[in-house]
Amino acid sequence: MTEQPTSPLSRRRLLGVGAGAAVAGAVAGVGGAYAATHASADPATAGGGADQASSDDMVPFRGEHQSGIITPAQDRMHFVALDVVTQDRAALAAMLKAWTRAAERMTAGAEAAPGGVVGGGPYRAPEDTGEAYDLDASDLTITIGYGPSLFDDRFGLADRKPDALRDLPGFVGDDLDPARSGGDLCIQACANDPQVAVHAVRNLVRMGFGVVSVRWSQLGFGRTSSTTRNQVTPRNMFGFKDGTNNLKAEDGDALAEHVWVQPADVPGGSAWMAGGSYLVARRIRMHIEIWDRTPLQEQQDIIGRDKGEGAPLGQKGEFDTLDFATKGADGKPAIPVDAHVALAHESRLNGIRILRRGYNFTDGSDGVGHLDAGLFFIGFMRDAHQQFVPMQRALAAKDGLNEYIEHTGSAVFACPPGLGAEDYWGQALFS
């Protein structure tokens, strides 16, 4: 970092703004400087209670791992997959470096670039598009990922490709739309204000003009998983609590085993990926109209939990251990052997677990009288082919939910590790 804060508190007092930056630990100096820049360009907000710099809703941008993975799941998401439209390796690397600066600024509640909305003067296009000008950081995280296609022959990255970064195989029942699948790059922007998430994606796309082009994009309005123990478990569009048994940020050893790529996984040219994680995205259309006409017991048997509490069938509380031996009054297992929670459980998958971080979506209507609603599944894992693929194979073969869902989009991305104080995206990849 170019400057060191003496302490978060003194820095806060010094600037008169930047409380959010101050509590953000590693990013304090940088975030505070950005906040000060922003404030000086906009005196009206410098003292305001709603100023982005006066809240503690900021997630550190830099660290061992990227934020947006084990960060407590925010309520809203904008996810975008991009294609690189240039053949110019240097232009791509430069854009990633510029994105890093912009992403760090925006996660600190500042404008995308120092000129901001109005600081660049009347005769230039603003350096920030402005729709989040009055909004605070809103726990924004911006997470980047690289798709398998980025490592083709265009940019000389073939020898940097991790073995595990391969397109997913097809699964029984897939109905994938190529226009909602794949991509050279992805950006996952999560925030508690959707306008902040959209603003982040839009400004990065704007900065990438001539280098990248939007391939597909997905908004999610409600998180479907908790990623820390103190979050209330949310509900998906089937009305069930989702993510009760998810991996959580507190599960340090399990995260190392199931989420973070270990050095031994990525020898040689792919060593840049150690500390990263693979992101699997699946757009799952839910046929909610059919589901909504299904009796409660059948819904619960398909899921394996009760709908009110979210308790495993045969148990009382949401967090009671899944017990596949418990029998119901009829002598059969209380949780049907092919229930969703059984098929996806580690005990049936040689111990496989993943970190889920998906969102509910509704994308208008489908043209035949129904809402186009569902779950945008996002899972983070150490190796998609060792974890997501066997899990999805089991589900695709037997899950009773398949009568009600359809996978309409699919992608896998390598999310590199977090950034040190002076690092930028693409640095390790292009060096």
DSSP 8-state assignment for residue 271: G
Report if residue 370 touches a second copy, rule: CB under 8 A: yes
Phi, psi of 250 (to 5 degrees): -80, -10
Taking the least distance from each CB to a second copy, the nearer of 126 and 426 is 126
Query: Vertex 384, ends 208 and 430: CA angle to 5°?
Result: 40
Query: Do the Cβ atoms of 52 and 46 come closer than 8 Å?
Result: no
Binding track, positions 201-240, relative to a second copy; x by CB under 8 A:
xx--xx--x---xxxxxxx-xx---------x-xxxxxxx
Which tokens hold the place of 288? 């909610």
Report if residue 330 touches a second copy, rule: CB under 8 A: no
Taking the least distance from each CB to a second copy, the nearer of 156 and 209 is 209
- Beta carbon of residue 201, minimum distance to a second copy (angstroms, whole number): 7
With CB under 8 A as the contact rule, which of the stretches 151-159, 188-196, 324-332, 346-354 interacts with a second copy? 188-196
- Beta carbon of residue 244, minimum distance to a second copy (angstroms, whole number): 13
> Environment class of residue 393 by beta-carbon count within 10 Å: exposed (0-12), middle (13-18) or buried (19+)?
middle
Query: Vertex 400, ends 396 and 401: CA angle to 5°?
Result: 75
- Beta carbon of residue 272, minimum distance to a second copy (angstroms, whole number): 28
Neighbours of 71 (CB within 10 A): 19
Taking the least distance from each CB to a second copy, the nearer of 163 and 403 is 403
Taking the least distance from each CB to a second copy, the nearer of 117 and 391 is 117
DSSP E strands, 205-358:
212-220, 222-223, 277-286, 355-356
Taking the least distance from each CB to a second copy, the nearer of 24 and 339 is 339
3-class secondary structure for 34-54? Answer: HHHHHHHHCHHHHCCCCCHHH
Q: How many Å apart are CA 431 and CA 427, to the nearest integer?
A: 6
Chain position carrying tokens 């971080």: 357
Binding track, positions 274-313, relative to a second copy; x by CB under 8 A:
--------------xx--xxxxxx-xx-----xxxx----
CA–centroid distance for 59 within its chain: 14
Taking the least distance from each CB to a second copy, the nearer of 11 and 241 is 241
Report if residue 374 touches a second copy, rule: CB under 8 A: no
| Residues 242-281, interacting with a second copy (CB under 8 A) | none
Report if residue 399 touches a second copy, rule: CB under 8 A: no
- Beta carbon of residue 345, minimum distance to a second copy (angstroms, whole number): 23
- Continuous H helices in 304-357: 340-343
Taking the least distance from each CB to a second copy, the nearer of 265 and 301 is 301
Strands 185-191 and 371-381 turn out to be: unpaired
- Beta carbon of residue 277, minimum distance to a second copy (angstroms, whole number): 25
Helix (H, G, I), strand (E, B) or coil at 157: coil
Q: How many residues bind a second copy (CB under 8 A)?
A: 77
- Give the contacts of 229 (CB within 8 A, at least 6 positions apart): 248, 249, 250
Taking the least distance from each CB to a second copy, the nearer of 43 and 268 is 43
- Beta carbon of residue 353, minimum distance to a second copy (angstroms, whole number): 25
Longest CA–CA separation in the chain, Å: 77
One-letter amino acid for residue 218 of the chain: Q
Binding track, positions 124-163, relative to a second copy; x by CB under 8 A:
xxx-xxxxxxx-----------------------------
> Environment class of residue 338 by beta-carbon count within 10 Å: exposed (0-12), middle (13-18) or buried (19+)?
middle
- Beta carbon of residue 350, minimum distance to a second copy (angstroms, whole number): 33
Taking the least distance from each CB to a second copy, the nearer of 133 and 424 is 133
| Residues 66-95, interacting with a second copy (CB under 8 A) | 76, 78, 80, 83, 85
| Residues 36-55, interacting with a second copy (CB under 8 A) | 42, 44, 50
Report if residue 332 touches a second copy, rule: CB under 8 A: no
Q: How many Å apart are CA 61 and CA 105, to the nearest integer?
A: 9
| Residues 99-118, interacting with a second copy (CB under 8 A) | 117-118
- Beta carbon of residue 20, minimum distance to a second copy (angstroms, whole number): 19
Taking the least distance from each CB to a second copy, the nearer of 67 and 300 is 300
Query: Do the Cβ atoms of 77 and 376 come closer than 8 Å?
Result: yes
Q: How many Å apart are CA 300 and CA 286, to the nearest integer?
A: 16
Which tokens hold the place of 408? 């309409």
Taking the least distance from each CB to a second copy, the nearer of 215 and 282 is 215
| Residues 168-187, interacting with a second copy (CB under 8 A) | 179
